Amino acid sequence: MPFQPPQRYQSPHLPFGDRRDAPFYGKHILSVRQFQRDDLAYIFGVAHEMREMVLRIGAFDLLKGKILANLFYEPSTRTAASFVAAMERLGGSVIAINEVRYSSVTKGESLPDTVRTLEAYADVIVLRHPQEGAAALAARYARKPIINAGDGTGEHPTQALLDLFTIREELGTIDGLTITMLGDLRYGRTVHSLARLLSRYRVKINYVSPPVLRMPRDIVRELEAKGIPQAEYTTLDPVLAETDVLYVTRVQKERFEDPALYDRVKDAYVITPEVMARAKDRMILMHPFPRVYEITMDVDQDPRAAYFRQMEYGLYVRMALLAMVLGKA
């Protein structure tokens, strides 16, 4: 008789109480392209509830017994920390591999093998990787949900979700807004995901960047096909007064092949109180952080500076996503 491998052991806490009919149960989160408007309304509804719960009771046991593997091949402060906080506030726990240097990756282990190893121990894997498409590759091998926490210059879907949640919570709506993205639109993955996600709404998008750091043509064309009005500029002046959301990004030093080019464009735009004086009274200034030169610290006291609140909204969105892929929301 040929060799029969043993039946896969099912941990008893896995199936019980999981809502297998939940919309994102067991799903990977790889790109914002997978979200339609009703999905977004659903995610934001859950994120809103998470916020209420955190403000009221701090932590609760929705994901008790569940384990998240946080696998980061690139540096991260907010994304890594907020996923840990999200899991722990939901009563779950985390295997944190923030420094792949100390894992078997250094011994030459492939991404598919690392992912298949971690899913033997964890229920969900959050992955950040320098290569575009890495999360999709991992998902081809994984049986457990993979959440893309940034794949090179590709996408950063959970950031875009939290960015949109921030806009909705702060300005009450997304439809009808003028969003201006400023800085490194070529290499900045957060703006790639955000532009695609905004195309689900009735918005106008302005892109302000040096010519070498323009928004990739395929994204501009994708939005054009959806009828989104878009315009490109090299200075902020022509669009500042009409802007409802000014989304500033860092020039992505680590993606430049030519350091001289980085030096030429690194401080192309700097938001100061003088710039903010020319913006609308009711608008918000956002940034995915880290900031380097782009917003001076004396802007932080301006109530329109939403970037620290944006980080907090990220906690609630990531709590919602974890609960959803694990079938608890």
Does the active-site annotation cover 156?
yes
**Binding residues among 28-87 for ligand ASP as defined by CB under 6 A:** none
DSSP character string of 126-174: EEEESSTTHHHHHHHH-SS-EEEEEETTS--HHHHHHHHHHHHHHHS-S
Minimum Å distance from CB 62 to ligand ASP?
27
d(CA 299, CA 110): 44
Residue among 62 and 317 whose Cβ is closer to ligand ASP: 317
- Specify which residues 222 forms β-bridges with: none
CB contact at 8 A, 69 and 298: no
CA 39 → CA 34, 163, 182, 222, 304, distances in Å? Answer: 9, 15, 27, 20, 28
Which residue out of 156, 168, 186, 196 is catalytically annotated?
156
d(CA 287, CA 307): 6
**Binding residues among 277-306 for ligand ASP as defined by CB under 6 A:** 288
Extended strands (E) in the chain: 67-72, 93-97, 124-129, 146-151, 178-182, 204-208, 230-233, 245-248, 284-286
User: How many chain residues touch ligand ASP (CB under 6 A)?
Assistant: 6
Binding residue (CB under 6 A) for ligand ASP from 89, 129, 156, 196: 156
If binding is defined by CB under 6 A, does position 200 make contact with ligand ASP?
A: no
**Please, what sign has the CA dihedral across residues 39, 203, 314, 156?**
positive
Does the active-site annotation cover 8?
no
Binding residue (CB under 6 A) for ligand ASP from 92, 150, 152, 327: 150
Does the active-site annotation cover 287?
no
x-or-dash string of contact with ligand ASP, 160-199, rule CB under 6 A = -----------------------------xx---------
Does the active-site annotation cover 107?
yes
Residue among 144 and 189 whose Cβ is closer to ligand ASP: 189
Which residue out of 78, 202, 280, 304 is catalytically annotated?
78
> What is the contact surface with ligand ASP in residues (CB under 6 A)?
150, 156, 189-190, 250, 288
**Which residues have a catalytic role annotated?**
78-79, 107, 128, 156
